[in-house]
Each structure stands twice: as structure tokens, then as C-alpha cells.
Amino acid sequence: MMKILHVLETSIPHTVGYTIRARSIVENQRRAGMEPVVVTSPFFPSKLVRAAVEELDGVLYYRTNHIRAPGSARTKVGSYLLRLMMVARYRRAVLDIAIKERPDVIHAHSSYTNAYAALPAARRLGIPLVYEVRTLWGESAVVEDGLRADSPKHRLIWKLELGAMRRADVVVPISRGIREELIARGIAPEKLEVVPNGVDTERFKPVPRDTSRARGLGLEGSFVIGFLGSIRKLEGIVTLLEAYKLCQERRADVALVIVGDGPERPLLEARARQLGLKSVVFPGNVPHEEVASWYSIMDLMVYPRIRAVINERVTPLKPLEAMALGKVCVGSDVGGLLELIRNDETGMIFRSGDHSDLAAVVLALIDDPGRMERLRGAAFDFIKREREWSSIVERYREIYAGRVGAKRGGAMRGEEGFGPRRQNG
């Protein structure tokens, strides 16, 4: 049985997009006969730490929150020094866990901190290091944090990320767009293996409309446009608000529900008031166990992402979940969404930032229930055919097997830096 040590920024029970993908990988690997073990970084939320080692769904999770994270520093210089100390101690912790567990592969997931923490353990044990790239951290900071492109900090982030990729044995981008960006930045194409986002359809299943929730919100008889996710500038939700105003002017039976929280939420609520949209529902973050209920009252999901490098390259997870739940998805024409939503096939596409075009697409769908049903069925078929985690996870087995074989062959030939491994136990 192949044992994989996953090195993660955070994990369940913390529930965000990052941990949903990680949980899907780990659970499906276990079901497929592999043996995943997890270690989480010092950035795992301390309030969720229950033990230094815990078992969740049959998988061991090692926590490293005994290591201080940079956020606890009082000054900027102190933060940098603490980060260096954190990485050094984190590397030691991962090495100790790896020596104890004796994995066949170490699989580090974004960000570069996890890759650098895992590197000494992989080298010491003579096993492959897989680095999974889930986003482009520097490009995200350009939009979300106002970081200037090609600034010293922007270049440093890219230098650290690319350095981690060059040291890894294989790099796993989660989208074709990320792969293209990495090739453009000098990573060898033969080193890159795309493993896309997926959905566990055993976990995400269509559920009947929660009529009591719809009634409580005054949405009975309404066609509900929905958004569920992080409320960030990247998501372009202001375009959705402006499109909704046009829809309301045409139809009184249209409603809008925006579930989630984030730095843009106060600005969006203010914009809704400016537009006179008193009926928009902003429930904020909702308990994870209630997410399916909120999805159930939504007839159409909209993903109005802005045009930015990060959005052109990275595929979001939420549209796939929505498709698995039987929802029709409308997305802007940015690259990451175009990998998921095929216009008039698995959903509908509109011009990014063009609220008039979005309104026209939404109104056309409301007026054509047959088309809605066709899109809903085609999207679900796409998920089952191409994005079911039980199938996707086999790609990892192929990647691991190829690299483990190559690494062991190199060790037998006496490659520098690697020696024969002890047997497990």
C-alpha cells in the first residue's frame, strides 16, 4: 500500500475551498487503497486544535501549532524574523513526522512555505516531493492587497514559488491556465501534471427546495439568483448587483441572495443601497451544515469574476459544486471559468464587467425553462464524466508511481543525495 504524507496549510475541520479540495483528495485516496497521512502548518487555526495528533475519518492529522506564526509578531521586522524561525522549526517537524511515518511520497500543497518545509524530509528519505500549485499567490495579492505588479515583494513571492517548484520532483497545477503561466515563467512542461478541481457527488447531492427558508426570506414564488463564496474584489460581485437592478426593472419576481463574507461585503451592501436594491439578501457566512439548504433556494448561480491574471489562470471550486447540486451556472468570460463552463452547454457565459450582458443572459434563461433544464442536465453529466473525485484521484496514483519508481532507480544507481530506504516500520 502506497503511503502519502500530505503537507497542508490548513485542513478540516476548518472549512474553506482549500480544505474542501484537500479533504476530497485524502478521503478518495483512502477509499482507493492508498494510505494518506496529513501534517498541517502553523497557520492552521489554533482555536480548532484539539490534539497534536488526531484521527479524522480514518486519517491521521499531525498539527504543528506549537510553532509560532509570523502574525504573532509586534513589528514588521519581527514578523520577518519569526517567519524564518517558523520555517526552520516547521521543516524539523515535518522531517520528524516523515521519519516516523516512512511515506513513499511527500505531497506538499500551496503555498511555497509547505514545499520548503517538506523538502528536507524528502531529501533525507530519498523519496519524491510533489508540489501542488493551487493558485498564483503573487497575482492574487495584486488584486486583493493592492500589491504593485513587478514590485520587489511581487518578485520575491514569485521567486519563492518558482524556487519551490524547481526543487520538487513534479509540480501539480490544478488548471491548464496555471500550467501555461508556469511554463511561461520557466518551469519545464514535462515536470507539470495537471490534476483539476473536482467534486465528490456522494457529498454534493441535489436536495429539495427548503420552502421554510424561502418563506422566511420572503422568496416564495421568486426566481432566485444566487452567489455563494468569498466576497472579494476578484469575484466582481458589483457587476451582479448592477445586473440585478436591470432584471428587477423587467421582472418583479426576481430575487438576489449573496451568501458569504469578506473584505468587499460592506462596500457591496453600500452599493446595493445606492442602487435602491432593498431586497438583496446578505446573510453573511452560514454554518457549513446549512450550505445545502441555501443552495436549494437558488435557481441560478452567477460567478461574475473580474478580468485579472489570477482569474484567467485559476479555476474556482464553487461552480463545480453548484453543478453537482443541479444548479445552472452563469460565469464571466475569464479563463478560469471557461475551463468549467462551456457556453450554452454546461452553463452560460457573459462578458466580464458588462452588467447589461449579464442581465440579458439571466433574463433569457428565466424566460426559457426548457433551456435551464437542458443546461442543468448537461452540467451534471460533465461532473460525473470529467470531475468526479473518485476518478480524478487515480491521476495521483499514476504520478506517484512514476516518480517513486524513478527515485528508487536513481537511489540504486547511487544518485547524489539519495540512498536506499529502510523498510517501513
Q: What is the pLDDT of residues 341-350, one digit of tens each?
A: 999 999 999 9
DSSP codes joined into one string, 359-383 = HHHHHHHHT-HHHHHHHHHHHHHHH
**What pLDDT, in 10s, does the model give residues 58-70?**
999 999 999 998 8
pLDDT for 145 equals 74
pLDDT for 412 equals 37
- Give CA–CA dist 31/306, Å, rounded: 38
**What pLDDT, in 10s, does the model give residues 24-57?**
999 999 999 999 999 999 999 999 999 999 999 9
pLDDT for 410 equals 52
**What pLDDT, in 10s, does the model give residues 193-248?**
999 999 999 888 899 999 999 999 999 999 999 999 999 999 999 999 999 999 99
- Give CA–CA dist 130/108, Å, rounded: 6
pLDDT for 17 equals 82
108 close to 172: Cβ distance less than 8 angstroms: no
User: In this structure, what are the phi and psi dihedrals at residue 384, rounded to the nearest 5 degrees?
Assistant: -65, -35
Give the pairing type, strands 35-40 and 59-63: parallel
pLDDT for 423 equals 37
DSSP codes joined into one string, 95-138 = HHHHHHH--SEEEEESSHHHHHHHHHHHHHHT--EEEEE-S-HH
pLDDT for 378 equals 97
pTM tops 0.85, yes or no: yes
Fold of 211-386: Rossmann fold (3.40.50)
Domain ranges across the chain: 3-198+389-412, 211-386
Among 7-11, 151-155, 169-173, 290-294, the range scoring the smallest mean pLDDT is 151-155
pLDDT for 72 equals 74
Fold of 3-198+389-412: Rossmann fold (3.40.50)
Which residues have a Cβ under 8 Å from the Cβ of 27 and sit 6 or more positions away?
57, 59, 200
Check if 3-198+389-412 and 211-386 are the same fold.
yes
C-alpha cell at 329: 451556472
